[in-house]
Amino acid sequence: MRADTTSYYQNNLNSFISKVFGLMFLGLIATFLTAFAITYSFKYSPAVSLFFINNSWILFAIPIVEVILVFFISFAINSFSYSTLKFLFILYSVLNGVTFSVVLLSFTGITVMQAFLAAGVTFGVMAVFGATTNKDLTGFGTYLIMALMGVLILSVINIFFTKSSGLDWALCIAGLFLFIGLTAYDMQTLKNMYLNYCNGEMEESEGFKKVILMGALTLYLDFINIFLKFLQVFSRMDD
């Protein structure tokens, strides 16, 4: 009986993780399809380039809207339906693709491919580690988030004041390792959330679906940030 119960929970956990990754991949597909479509249009459609040149404020406004969307989804998770939140997640992913289209113009195709492959492998390894390790990573989460806040503050200071290329490189590497660590931490947190609060009877409930959505958003952000850091690393190595 105990073996059957363990197998039951393991199967449900695997199903839960599959759904999280499925929604996360949907967001990534929306982001990268949007990014590559707009990047292609920038290069081969003068009308698109002219539109963004004449309306450059859009490229400054979109990142602000993205930040607002992430906070809105996170804090309004209990106030709106799953369908509405899922729509906002996809909308965020598409808007992020618009931002990415500008970022990708600064890198060669080889650098983008290298960064994507490196991010994919690194993310995958750390996600598996977080899901399978018996070591409790809870204590590391607080330190990782505090360190990440420090990196973000120093990055802003460096952009506007010190403008040090050496510090920029150090912050890039630090940020990369922090998001790698956060991937394992977030993955274990998702696993624990399922084991502590979810069960097979809840799989069709709104609450269960919202947990999946928040998990997808969290892992999406981890992957995107790892990818961006690898872009900086490989670009710097090519210089």
Residue numbers of the domain that contains 130 = 2-238
Q: How many domains are there within the chain?
A: 1
pLDDT tens string 167-194: 999 999 999 999 999 999 999 999 988 8
Instruction: Give the up-direction half-sphere exposure of residue 234: CA atoms within 13 A in the CB hemisphere.
Output: 21
Percent of the chain with pLDDT over 90: 66
DSSP string, 123-144: HHHHHHHHHH--S--HHHHHHH
One-letter amino acid for residue 17 of the chain: I
pLDDT tens string 102-125: 888 889 889 999 999 999 999 999
Can you tell me the distance from the alpha carbon of 20 to that of 40, in angstroms, rounded to the nearest whole number?
A: 30
For 103, the token pair is: 């970022």
Which is more confidently placed, 219 or 41?
A: 219
